[in-house]
Amino acid sequence: MPNFSLKDEVFENAARQFPTPFHLYDETGLRKRARALNEAFSWCRDFREYFAVKALPNPTILRILKEEGCGLDCSSATELMLAKACGFGGEEVILSANAMPPEELAQARALGAFVNLDDISDIGLLRTHGGIPETICLRYNPGGEFSIGNTIMGNPGEAKYGFTKPQLKEGLAILKKEGAAAFGLHAFLSSNTTEPSYFPSLAELLLTLGKELAAESGLRFAFIDLSGGVGIPYRPDQPETEIRAVGEGVRKAYEALIPDGSVAVKTELGRWMTGPVGWLVTRAVHEKKIYRDYIGVDACAANLMRPAMYGAYHHITVCGKRDWPADHVYDVTGCLCENNDKFAINRNLPEIALGDLVVIHDTGAHGYSMGYNYNGRLRSAEILYTAEGGYRMIRRAETARDYFATLDLDPAAEALGLGPKA
Ligand SMILES: *Cc1c(COP(=O)(O)O)cnc(C)c1O
């Protein structure tokens, strides 16, 4: 079931203070999720969630997660800068990148962050960019299909990430020679899965492999990093992932394999953490009836790309009309010159009037952050609904000046009064 934790009143009040569209994030809901995750893994002596920054790279959100004891999983130089600016450092940060500029490895090392190497060739890059650390993380790709029981959960054989098993062995031997003393293992084999046995199965796989690699390499097996991938129910008929059951499942696998509790457990959840506590608040601004009925809203794929990019479902409600019968069928669209710019297709909804607030659910992860500027459309503001019940703008909406900022070398920006000197 998508998240209905906020009343329509919250969206209506926010829309009185700030022009639509905007993403609204619920601080209380966010803290609850962070606490539930930490509680689910509280059996583990050394557990830490490294929130995947790319899911919601807003410093206010990152500082809230820091208060809840989370670290950060960064994927680029700018995300490392963001982490540092928010006060994260040392072992609170992990860099998981692939085909990355080697300077980013040096930047992560300078921050004291864990480095999660994606490929055996990265060892040479790390040697010359920051140096080999005492503890190093390696990303594993088992190839083939990843199944739990009869269900195919993912297709690692087609994924660009990670080391093969022989490469892990070879890599660890090299790393040991170059001064590493301990290693962690990371894998991401299934995306947006609400199947509670995903993390337990992955933990079993990584712990079994890690023990074998430790025995063979003589390096200490320091941690497993289960990464992200735990899903959320975007659709009304989908069940919520029981995070407590996920934690319990991992505990069972862990206790069977690591009875002395010597291996730390890390996660890098993005979607599960923030997805359900974000909403894209839009207004119906256009109605059109041709072969279908269309409602145009004031947001577009530039504000939320998932439907256009993946055909992803996002639940939609209309403020003040939650109890109305869903007896109209609409395509809910944005304004891009792209026919995939549709937040909903043939969706049963209550009758929508122009001016209605149309709320798109579960936009707190991979929502704003995937935004772009196609058609010259600008990204929206981000609003925090605070634990005290207030509304705080935590990112302003883009303006034309932002759009022209990268053209400040061109006379066009100056001519429009939007150059750097204006
Ligand atoms: C994207 C990503 C995550 C977060 O994934 P979710 O599906 O949002 O949980 C975590 N770790 C890595 C390395 C990633 O690339």
Domains assigned to the chain:
27-275 (3.20.20.10), 277-407 (2.40.37.10)
CA distance 316 to 306: 14
User: What's residue 149's pLDDT?
Assistant: 87
Q: What is the pLDDT of residue 97?
A: 87
Separation of CA 51 and ligand 1 centre (Å): 8
Residues with beta carbon inside 6 Å of ligand 1?
52, 54-55, 73, 96, 188, 191-192, 227-229, 268-272, 365
What is the reported pLDDT for 241? 93
Angstrom distance (rounded) from CA 374 to CA 336: 8
pLDDT of res. 422? 57
Give residue 421's pLDDT band: very low, low, confident or very high (50, 70, 90).
low
pLDDT at 23 over 70: yes
Rounded CA separation 356/350 (Å): 11
Nearest to 21 by CA among 220, 260, 303, 227: 303
Residue nearest to atom 13 of ligand 1 (CA): 96
For 219-271, what is each residue's pLDDT tens digit? Answer: 999 999 999 999 999 999 999 999 999 999 999 999 999 999 999 999 999 99
* Distance of alpha carbon 198 from the chain centroid: 17
Ligand 1 pocket test, pick from 114, 115, 268 with the greatest ligand atom count within 8 Å of Cβ, gives: 268
Nearest residue (CA) to ligand 1, atom 10: 228
Please give the pLDDT value at position 1: 84
Gap from CA of 115 to ligand 1 centroid (Å): 15
Most informative mutation of 95, 193, 227, 310 for ligand 1 (most atoms within 8 A of CB): 227
| Residue 246 near residue 273 (C-beta atoms within 8 A) | no
Residue 301: strand, helix, or coil:
coil
Helix (H, G, I), strand (E, B) or coil at 416: coil
CA angle 272, 26, 356 (to 5 degrees): 110
**In the prediction, which pLDDT does 73 show?**
98
**pLDDT value for 420:** 66
Mean pLDDT of the chain: 96
Q: Is the pLDDT of residue 287 over 80?
A: yes
Closest CA to 395 of 56, 27, 16: 56
In the predicted structure, residue 153 carries a pLDDT above the cut 70: yes
* pLDDT tens, position by position, 183-215: 999 999 999 999 999 999 999 999 999 999 999
For CA atoms 270, 163, 47, 71, the dihedral sign is negative
Mutate to test the pocket of ligand 1, among 37, 61, 73 (most ligand atoms within 8 A of CB): 73
Between 300 and 418, residue with greater pLDDT: 300
Q: How far apart are CA 203 and CA 211, in angstroms?
A: 12
